[in-house]
Chains A and B, each alone.
Chain A
């Protein structure tokens, strides 16, 4: 027994010395955290060594006692000793905890993943609303850019130029070809109060003149044939306050109509993004598009 205690103390000293030899530098500074760690390590080693010693001693010297249970398995029997009191207390405690968990803490069928999701959404929406109640123009442009990069860039390209004709070039309102196509085929489905635009509102040289004028951003003198357009789109081409699409800029009305209904044009089809963006985000997208407008 004595030799084992001496062996244990030698082991402790050796371990501490080894640690000091390897990491001794760490104790040179003013920081006491390393010394605390070392004290903790010392405590763990001492407790471990002496606990092991206790049990080794018990194995060596203890003799079993008590009454044997009736059954035995190939000569191996079992004593009918009572269970250790600490173990019994923990067992009873865990039963109480289980009852609390089941009936008070997390009652059966009270948790809902979807409920948790709904709460998360409400919380996020409230946070969004509070944070961006009155956004500045710069905020809108920055928000619009990040929305654009996630939702729009896969088709319109990261530079918004439409990836070489694969989608609408959003740095311009319309090209001459697009205006001609709309004049020829009409346009419908955006849900403006003015309704669908009939095909063939103008033809030949008239259509050409309108297309050049509209594609050029409606600058300078309007051609006489533009009268066919201005009855709906307004003399300035801005759509008479949301009655018909704005031909000059991407405005908030145009943005929300296209996002809601999608758009089919000579380039291809844009799907509807209904319900995917909130009002502030749509406004932000408009601001962003106007901020990257070419030639201004």
Chain B
């Protein structure tokens, strides 16, 4: 029946590809579109949290820490509720990670606090004996890049329709407004911190990387 087709290898390959691709598309796309809708309560990151996310990516935290809790009892006992696809709707890129040298951080905001992160990032071994995590003291002096974070937020809002400024969602506004909001959020975090140079920097209108990173980590819930 199909002998005529077998004699046309290129045409045959194209038809084969189209057949398999079509099957793949109708199998994958509808479910994927459904699963990737934001879950109720998932919000885009504020400017400060995005700046902290940039620090997280820059210092390759995702090389050792995953952000994906699998549905196993052993895992949900330790890290909390398993992850849903919709929770990553505003993660660009997602930071699932592929290796757990350190623990998962998907919901670290639920069980660690600002002052714990402060102690831990300055000297991890001081709170977790025997840890292999290196210290990140440079985060206490480097200044976070709020403008780039704003640029990213503005871009995803304009291009992908991320619901900034919508009702019940984080405010973005103009660059000046976003910077003011980021400073206000940074002040709240600095108030819970003990490091004097960080507190001074925030009082002077600068946001050290550690403050942005803690804002990001606290937002992971």
Contact B119 A166 (CB under 8 A): yes
| Known interface pairs A150-B78, A155-B116, A269-B113; A113-B71 also in contact (CB < 8 Å) | yes
Complex Cα spacing A151 to B112, Å: 11
Closest B residue, CB atoms, query A273: B111
Complex Cα spacing A123 to B76, Å: 15
CB distance from A62 to the nearest CB of B (A): 26
User: What is B's interface to A at a CB cutoff of 8 Å?
Assistant: 3, 6-7, 71-73, 76-78, 80, 82, 110-116, 119, 126-129, 192
Q: Which of A41-49, A114-122, A172-180, A286-294 contacts B (4 or more CB under 8 A)?
A: A114-122
Contact B73 A124 (CB under 8 A): yes
| Known interface pairs A154-B127, A155-B127, A158-B129; A271-B111 also in contact (CB < 8 Å) | yes
| Chain B residues with CB under 8 A of A158 | 129
CB distance from B12 to the nearest CB of A (A): 13
User: What is A's interface to B at a CB cutoff of 8 Å?
Assistant: 69-71, 73, 113-114, 116-117, 120-121, 124, 150-151, 154-155, 157-158, 163, 166, 268-273, 276
Q: Apart from A69-B3, A70-B3, list 19 A-B contacts with CB within 8 A.
A: A73-B7, A114-B82, A117-B76, A120-B72, A121-B73, A121-B76, A151-B111, A154-B116, A155-B116, A158-B129, A163-B126, A163-B127, A166-B115, A166-B116, A271-B110, A271-B113, A272-B110, A276-B77, A276-B111
Contact B192 A269 (CB under 8 A): yes
| Chain A residues with CB under 8 A of B6 | 71
| Chain B residues with CB under 8 A of A124 | 73
| Chain A residues with CB under 8 A of B192 | 268-269
3 closest residue pairs by CB, A with B: A117-B71, A268-B115, A269-B113
